[in-house]
Structure 1
């Protein structure tokens, strides 16, 4: 089951990566998001299934959707082997889960996002405002 799950994510990300150019933003499926799960990361390329936070209220889901889809592709100098969190965007049983690594920035700094299954290690940068709001959510 786990292999099927990762295979679906991998195929989806390959298709999505092929559609992106320099300066692009992250994309999600054009489907309703059921909930967002956050876990402490086990490291690059691995997904931690021990959920710390689950967000299912519409305003919370919309906030995460905004953070992800407005993050812009840029070079990043984060250490790719140690993400802080794993974000799982869940659409329901009929769709794959988007798995994203998050390197949470310090207050008033950008954060870095990366699709978990991304062979070229493309990173995306959030705004400092979004980082501050993420930090506030994770402290509750």
Structure 2
């Protein structure tokens, strides 16, 4: 009986360890507030935001797509050397009184069937989207 219990314990521990290794990495985080608008501009480089807006998104469905693309993108380990971003993305939130901070994010928009890359303007870690999210982002950004 002790042998069976020991084998079951070891098996459960092995399954738990494998499960922990299969978990997805860290994802991007936005405020737990309703997004009111997403503003997009052509980027002038990392570490700063270009405030010359080329696209403003306020439609609920489009905001949901952008929010999902950002919050499901997965952090990549290590330091990455990367070219200048394509776009600056400003995520603005609804606020009754006083203002909530705007999230500034750089975006490297992937080509069809490629992943796109996000990076907070105040950080050097990159986060990758899925190719499906790139398709949705391209539809929103390039069709306007």
- Structures share a fold, TM > 0.5? yes
CA distance in structure 2 between the partners assigned to 1:138 and 1:58 by the alignment: 15
Stretch of structure 1 that moved more, 124-133 or 71-80: 71-80
Q: Deviations over 1:67-123 (max 9, x none)?
A: 00000111485624x0000010001452000000001111100000000011xx111
Equivalence for 1:46:
48
Change (3 A) 1:129 1:24: same
For 2:38, what is the secondary structure of its paired residue? strand
Q: How many residue pairs end up in the alignment? A: 116
For 1:34, what is the secondary structure of its paired residue? strand
CA RMSD of aligned residues (A): 1.7
CA contact (8 A) 1:110 1:131 kept: yes
CA distance in structure 2 between the partners assigned to 1:110 and 1:127 by the alignment: 5
Equivalence for 1:110:
115
For 1:64, what is the secondary structure of its paired residue? helix
TM-score (norm 1): 0.77
CA contact (8 A) 1:78 1:112 kept: no
Which of residues 121, 129, 132 is equivalent to 1:129? 132
Unaligned residue ranges in structure 1 (runs of 5+)? 1-21
Give 1 or 2 for the bigger CA radius of gyration.
2
Unaligned residue ranges in structure 2 (runs of 5+)? 1-23
TM-score (norm 2): 0.75
The list of structure 1 runs, each at least 4 consecutive aligned residues, that deviate by more than 3 angstroms after superposition, is 75-78
CA contact (8 A) 1:78 1:103 kept: no
For 1:109, what is the secondary structure of its paired residue? coil
Equivalence for 1:72:
74
